[in-house]
Amino acid sequence: MTKIKYILFAAMGAVMLAGGAAAQEPAAAEAVEAVVEAASTTPAPDTAFVFNTMLFLIMGMVVMFMAAGFCMLEAGLVRSKNAATICLKNITLYAIATVMVWLIGYNIIYGVEEGGYIGTLAMWAADDSAALETGYSASSDWFFQMVFVATAASIVSGTVAERVRLWPFFIFTAVLTGLIYPIQASWEWGGGWLDANYGFSDFAGSTLVHATGGWAALAGALALGPRRGKYGPNGQINTIRGSSLPLATLGVFILWLGWFGFNGGSQLALGSLDDAIAVSNIFVNTNMAAATGVITVVVLCTFLKRKIDLSMALNGAIGGLVSITAEPLTPAIWQAALIGSVGGGIIFVVTPLLENLRIDDVVGAIPAHLFCGMWGTIIVPFTNSDATYIGQAVGIGANAIFVFTTSLVLWILLKMIVGIRASADEEDKGLDESEIGAPAWPDFSEKPNPLQPAE
């Protein structure tokens, strides 16, 4: 209210100075317009603080809901005898990520010195002593950054499903969310060496979040090996059908919704006219990339496979979303459509490639998050002249070497010390029975429905 009064007083003063003569009316109108324009483009610090904080909190809640999307996607694409275990994994990994980012993760990311390699090993505590200068609540920023970390862990869960034991996975998740993810994120988002020396640009995390999860997932898939029965002795590839494609589809719709918070919130401000326009443009580009990712897969399947693969179409949406995440602000709509379409093409090509390499990725997370993440990152200079292809390549390479190496070493250590894979008998019965003691629902994807009357 105080600010509105100042605007009105200023406008009245401008009118009085301009006078009532007809010849002075244009000057008076210009004076009023200048005052109103200044007020609309330069919000008061407390107003900007409120809107920026709301952006973090609301978008953070939307991103948090992505955990439900990943859970539904994975539960739908695994066999019913493993669905309850998937649900337990997803809610527990979110809880682990929350605690680890509080204990050490946040300060590793944002406690790094300019041009440095790692932040401080310290517990996070909210500090709003200079809140108006910062522009947002410290707790809102922590919450928004935390849900990003949980997303990376969710990516790993789907790839290693149906054969990984629970506690080794939880231990891996703790290290990933507390150390591996924060260290590499500090190199760019914390102002570390990638940002300072190479100008590496990753707006919302095509590499820092999605490729990180993808590399960790690939390392896990290699350390675990494929599921029993996935590949035959003579090189044949057997299809293992999930328990519910409608449930998996619901999961992708939830993820699609969550991505608006993921990318839109990464503008990190909503307290000005320019920020509001930017967030709106990010929403449009994000949606367009997902749409063209789906359409590309559907068209390619129709003409090259003669049948449309629903699970691949679902990953087409995710591939398009991941592809646009590195730079969702600067592309024109047609450029966002092109970037998402290439992401869909990557899904179509890489998914069978991994199958032929006998790398068992249950939900297709590696093509969608790893390969599309690298594509989205390397193409940033196409629409953002502040980035360079060399800088982007250095960032992708550094992320790949660090995350894949540390993840593979960690998986191997866990394999040697505690074991990471369920036994053959446990895998055949299903992890719901062996890991959590829950009786499995009848799996109608593999045998006739006993409730169906005999012909």
> What is the DSSP secondary-structure string of 269-298?
--SSHHHHHHHHHHHHHHHHHHHHHHHHHH
Q: Return the closest-CA partner of residue 257 out of 52, 87, 65, 71.
A: 65
* 344-371 mean pLDDT: 97
C-alpha distance from residue 16 to each of 23, 25, 238, 337 (Å): 14, 11, 83, 53
pLDDT at 104 exceeding the cut of 90:
yes
Q: Which residues pair with 164 in a beta bridge?
A: 421
Compute CA 8 distance to the chain's CA centroid, rounded to the nearest angstrom: 45
51-435: CATH topology is Ammonium transporter fold (1.10.3430)
Q: Answer positive or negative: Cα dihedral of 297, 300, 303, 306.
A: negative
Residue 422, number of CB atoms within 10 A of its CB = 23
- Report the pLDDT averaged over residues 312-330: 98
Provide the b/e sequence for 37-49 (b: ≥16 CB within 10 Å). eebeeebeeeebb
Which burial class, exposed, middle or buried, applies to 452 when counting CB atoms under 10 A from its CB (0-12, 13-18, 19+)? exposed
Average pLDDT over residues 307-333: 97
Q: What integer best gives the mean pLDDT of the chain?
A: 90
Q: Are 244 and 314 in contact (CB under 8 A)?
A: no
Mean pLDDT to the nearest integer, 237-255: 96
Q: Is the pLDDT of residue 106 over 90?
A: yes
Across 126-135, 239-248, 333-342, least confident range: 126-135
Q: How confident is the model at residue 327 (pLDDT cuts 50, 70, 90)?
A: very high
Domain ranges for the chain: 2-41, 51-435
- Report pLDDT digits (tens) over 420-432: 999 999 999 999 9
Give me the helix-helix angle, 45-64 and 66-77, nearest 10°. 10
- The answer to pTM > 0.75 is yes
Q: Tell me the pLDDT tens digit for each residue of 133-187.
A: 889 999 999 999 999 999 999 999 999 999 999 999 999 999 999 999 999 999 9
Residue 378 confidence (pLDDT) above 80: yes
Confidence grade of residue 438 (pLDDT, cut at 50, 70, 90) = confident
Tokens representing residue 91 in the block: 């809610």
In degrees, rounded to 5, the angle at the alpha carbon of residue 388 between the alpha carbons of residues 385 and 389 is: 125
